[in-house]
Amino acid sequence: MPDVPRPFNAGLVAPIVFIIAMSVLTLINIIYNPFDILVGMLILLSGLPIYWIFVVNRSTSVDKFSQTITIYLQKLFLVVPDTNKQHD
């Protein structure tokens, strides 16, 4: 919907200021807390094997397990999608 009037237009200034401010804060953190940044990066990188197993190199057994867990949790929390199309 490109022609709909928008209530707020940020333009380019706000995103550029945000990127600069976050870059400065990140650099200050790296300079004064290198050990904390290293620990955070290791925690972040520890998720890569999980991503590789469950997303990139997904086998049919992982798909079947995921589908089983999804159906179980939908039933447990009573959030099974409505398949009734009468309200459309």
Query: What is the value of pTM for the model shown?
Result: 0.47
Give the residue extent of every domain in the chain.
12-46, 47-79
- Helix, strand, or coil here: 59? coil
Q: What pLDDT, in 10s, does the model give residues 20-49?
A: 999 999 999 999 999 999 999 999 999 999
Q: What is the 3-state secondary structure (H, E, C) of 53-82?
A: HHHHCCCHHHHHHHHHHHHHHHHHCCCCCC
